[in-house]
Structure 1
């Protein structure tokens, strides 16, 4: 699951919670190396038929370039997907921090009493678009999450905000 309560909300006492969100990875790092290695092995298999002939040297640069291109494309996908959102909820402050690779950290803060949680239906780029509005701004939360997880997250956050006394 691409989100985790690093400090789960307690049922008693002051509401303090911390949530980290990140994009889902269908291919883990170990699988990445295995996929590239398997691709290289499958590409090399037909080369056994042309061992010792000049055809091998004609095909080898193109096949090596294909493996290198697959490696580069998957590595680029991993780099572009290095996004982490961290939501900290305290009785007096709610803070959302977003870290994107190669960009400065973006921070949004508001008083949780005035924060409005909205789950937009059909009017935004994705179904179940989740936003927090407060302190004069509206920020998206977990736009990279699947729709069902955004909906479950909205329910959890709605309960937390209600405990703060907002609703």
Structure 2
């Protein structure tokens, strides 16, 4: 799954508030990455050798150079596309405290967008049809806040469904558990 809870969302809610205003839970969501480094190397090498199969019989002719140039162009395009996918900065982070929830979205270009609400008033909705299938949105409530934001639009529909279920479970547990005691004085 291309998302990670810190600490694990299945762990019990802390009985003591985290120090220094740290969130109770943090969720990081990112799109699938094309390949790890070994997979990238194997793909480029495999593409090179498979691309040579139709080129080798033409060694010594003008067609060889034309086919080799086309094959190397395709290989370069694959290289650029895979590397660009790895450089994309697109990801989202949800930080959850008792009294607030913050969503930070970084676009593929690295632009940062922030959204905050109180988890008590948060409405989590999974739309079967929308911009994408199983469109997951968060909507703040109370104090006139009605802005609705999307979460994980780059995930698959099944992953958005799983994320919705896990986030709903976390929010329910947060609402049901009593507020933690302040940390002990030194």
Bin the TM-score by the shorter chain: 0.7 to 0.9
Residue from 129, 132, 147 that aligns with 1:126: 132
Match of 2:107 in 1: 100
Residue from 17, 21, 35 that aligns with 2:29: 21
> Matched residues in 2 for 1:7 and 1:159: separation?
15
> Matched residues in 2 for 1:59 and 1:159: separation?
57
Provide closer, same or farther for how the CA distance between residues 58 and 161 of structure 1 changes in structure 2, counting only shifts above 3 A.
closer
Is 1:136 the counterpart of 2:146 in the alignment?
Answer: yes
Flag structure 1 segments of 5+ consecutive residues without an equivalent: none
Match of 2:119 in 1: 112
Deviation at 1:26, TM superposition (A): 5.4
TM, length-normalised to structure 2: 0.76
Residue from 168, 175, 180 that aligns with 1:158: 168
> Matched residues in 1 for 2:151 and 2:159: separation?
11
3-state SS, counterpart of residue 112 of structure 1: coil
Is 1:44 the counterpart of 2:52 in the alignment?
Answer: yes
Choose between structure 1 and 2 for higher RCO, CA contacts under 8 A separated by at least 6 residues. 2
Higher helix share: 1
Deviation at 1:18, TM superposition (A): 0.8
Residue from 88, 91, 98 that aligns with 1:84: 91
3-state SS, counterpart of residue 23 of structure 1: coil
1:6-57 superposed Cα distances (whole Å, 9 cap, x missing partner): 2224314268111111112354342222112111112223433333444433
Flag structure 2 segments of 5+ consecutive residues without an equivalent: 18-22, 177-186
After the TM superposition, which parts of structure 1 deviate over 6 Å for at least 4 consecutive aligned residues? Answer: none
TM, length-normalised to structure 1: 0.83
Match of 2:20 in 1: none
User: How many correspondences in the alignment?
Assistant: 164
> Matched residues in 2 for 1:127 and 1:11: separation?
32
